Each structure stands twice: as C-alpha cells, then as structure tokens.
A and B are shown apart, each in its own frame.
Chain A
Amino acid sequence: MSFFNLTRAKEDKPAMQPQTNEAQVSGTRARQVPLPVDIYEGQEELLLMADLPGVEAQGLTVSFEAPELRIEGRRGSGADERVYSRTFRVSEQIDPNGISAELAAGVLKLRLAKAAHTKPRKIEVRTG
C-alpha cells in the first residue's frame, strides 16, 4: 500500500495497519493535513506515536472499536482550521480497557495493551 509499510518478520500481517479508504471527516470543510505515525510492537503492547503539532488535548479524539482505531485531531478555527485524521485496523487482540493516550509537545503516544491470551507465555517444563 505504501513504501514504508513494514511488516514484521515473524508473520505476514502487520499488527496495525492504516485503512486504505480513509473515512471522511463529517461536517467539516477544514483542510486535512498529514498525520505521520510510528507503530511499534512490544511483548505486552502496541505503541503508536503520532505528530499532531498545534493540537490541544481537548481537540483530540481517540476511539477504538475493534478492530478499528481512529485518531482525529483539530486545531485552529475558521479558515485556519486543520484536521488530522486516520483510521487503523488492528489485527492484534487488544484489551479495550488497556488503552492509554498521552499528548506532549504535539506528539501523541498511544499504548494499546494486548489482550491477556495473546501475550507470550513461558511454559514451565516439569520433570516427572
């Protein structure tokens, strides 16, 4: 889909992928601006970092309805209004209560905890 689509080595499908058909932002004629993201996967969580310069916490909406994660940020008003928006498809099992978002210096840091059963487990081998 894009030249920077990196898939992980251990399996073919990426844990989180931007949707090709971006949903239209409803009820606005504000200019859309690019929303670059980094996506990382750890043992316990997926970590998404997004550049949203100029957006305040009250202008930011993050919603998750499995499997879709949506980020929408607004800044400015009137002719200067700008909208950042992107939707991702999350193929990894996520704990809906384990999502946390932090906005600092115009960067959103979103942590999505993996559902308990998808976390790697170490199986103890007992000797008989």
Chain B
Amino acid sequence: MLTRFSDFSDWPSFGFADFGRAYAPHAQLRRELDRLFGDFERSTAQPASTLSFEDDGANFVLRAEVPGLTENDFQINLAGNTLTLQGERKVEAPEGYTVHRRERAPFRFARSLELPARVDGEKVAATLKNGVLTVTLPKAAEAQPRQIAVKAA
C-alpha cells in the first residue's frame, strides 16, 4: 500500500523498521478486528480462523465466518474511511426439546474500524455465502498500487 507523503517526513532512515511502519495500519486494523470478533472467538474452545483481512493490491477484502446469519442480520455502513459492521446471532433451543449439548454460541458485534487507505464507496460489495461474509472494498484511484518506472538520467 502507499503511505501518504507527509508520513515520510518523520521517517528516521530507510531500514527494516520503516517497512514495519508501512504495515502498522494493518496491524492496528487487525487488532480492531480481533476485538470486534473477540466475543465470538472466546466462546468456542479453540479460536477458529473466523476472520481475515487482506490487501490484494486493488481491494481490501474482509472475510468473516458467520454461520447461521442471513443478509438481514447485518448492517454494514461506510462513512469516509470508517467501516461499521453490525450483526447478531441468536441461538435458541427449539421449544419442547431438551438441551444435551450447547457449543454454538450466540454472538453480537457492533464495531467501527478505520481503513488504512481510501476506498471507493460506490463499489464496495458485500456477499454472504454458506455462512461466510465477504466485504470487498476497492481502493480509491489514488490509493491503487502504481509501478514507478525508473528512467535513466
């Protein structure tokens, strides 16, 4: 991803530390997402790979495992660079049935997160298939990766 020009001014030097800095927004987002789904992950015996966030160059792709939820159980909003996700799963025993085992936890999340670069709000798409939510956020033109040709002087 591209770092804004203003960020260059306080870079101390070109070392590996700088590389880490460039990815810092991702680490921050990852922590946000961990918190977002924290309740869900804690509820199962082992934390599952319930969530992923990828930068495939042109898009940010957020995937969340949300078994049992339907389209209507979500609210996804984008305001500027802030993505807000809300959803809830209720788990109720069917009436007249005895409960023998209950491992599928109900969960609820409501979280806003700051995206590391501007996205094209018009082209954001969310799909739900087989209990997996995929939110594709195409980056705005100025945040798209560009290859810079080096010209001989």
Contact = CB atoms under 8 A, between A and B. Distances in A.
Interface of A: 2, 4-9, 14-16, 18, 33-34, 36-43, 47, 49-56, 75, 82, 105-107
A38 B94 CA distance: 11
Contacts of B151: none
Contacts, number: 100
Contacts of B44: 34, 36
Contact of B130 (A5, A33, A50, A54): A54
B102 A51 contact: no
A33 B94 contact: no
A117 to B, nearest CB: 19
Nearest to B70: A105
Nearest to A106: B131
Interface stretch (B19-27, B29-37, B60-68, B78-86): B60-68
B46 interface: yes
* A-B residue pairs, 7 tightest by C-beta: A106-B131, A106-B67, A53-B131, A36-B103, A53-B65, A40-B97, A51-B67
B49 interface: yes
- Range, interface on chain B: 20 to 34
26 contacts: A2-B45, A4-B102, A6-B99, A6-B101, A8-B100, A14-B101, A33-B48, A34-B45, A34-B46, A34-B48, A38-B103, A38-B104, A40-B98, A40-B99, A40-B100, A42-B96, A52-B131, A53-B67, A53-B130, A53-B132, A54-B130, A54-B132, A56-B130, A75-B130, A106-B131, A107-B68
A106 B130 contact: yes
B105 interface: yes
A51 B104 contact: yes
Chain B contact residues: over half helix, strand or loop, or mixed? Answer: loop
B10 to A, nearest CB: 38
Interface of B: 44-46, 48-50, 65-70, 91, 93-94, 96-105, 128, 130-132
Given A51-B131, A55-B130, A105 B67 contact: yes
A56 B130 CA distance: 7
B132 A106 contact: yes
B102 A105 contact: no
A100 to B, nearest CB: 15
Given A38-B93, A105-B131, A106-B131, 11 more contacts: A9-B98, A18-B101, A33-B48, A34-B45, A34-B48, A37-B103, A41-B100, A53-B50, A105-B68, A105-B130, A107-B67
